[in-house]
Amino acid sequence: MEHRCSIRKPIEFQLLLYKHGLPVQNGTCCNIGLGGMFINTGENRWHKNEYLEVEILSQTGITAMRLAAVVVHQNQQGMGVMFDAVTGEQRQILRTWLFGRPLQDSVPAETVRAVA
């Protein structure tokens, strides 16, 4: 049973996964909340409690934000991760994506798109 501290919203965007500071895999976010996200990786190569970094990319390929995360569950489609050590600025950007209007210094609108 999962115990989430915030709701998840179906927002889709491209990701790059890092292990020990090196890029290792592409993925797509399927849903995101303040505490974590589910990433469609198309394969199951990650293990529970494994640490990695999730880099959110804009459509132009520019890095929007990189978050430390830990794998909390996985299946054939991908994995669920919980964010680790989120800064105040990162949390504000996540809140903006989930609940509010974009801030002036927030990530460009083309970075995320709601999934119908």
Q: Averaged over 51-69, what is the pLDDT?
A: 83
pTM for the full model?
0.78
- Note the pLDDT of residue 4: 55
The pairing of beta strand 36-40 with beta strand 22-32: antiparallel
Tens digits of residue pLDDT in 8-55: 788 888 899 999 999 999 999 999 999 999 999 987 788 999 999 999
Tens digits of residue pLDDT in 69-110: 999 999 888 999 999 989 999 888 888 878 875 544 444 444
Residue 88, φ and ψ in degrees, nearest 5: -60, -40
Residue pair 57/15 in contact by the 8 Å Cβ criterion: yes
Question: How is the chain split into domains, by residue range?
Answer: 11-114
The superfamily CATH assigns to domain 11-114 is predicted glycosyltransferase like domains (2.40.10.220)
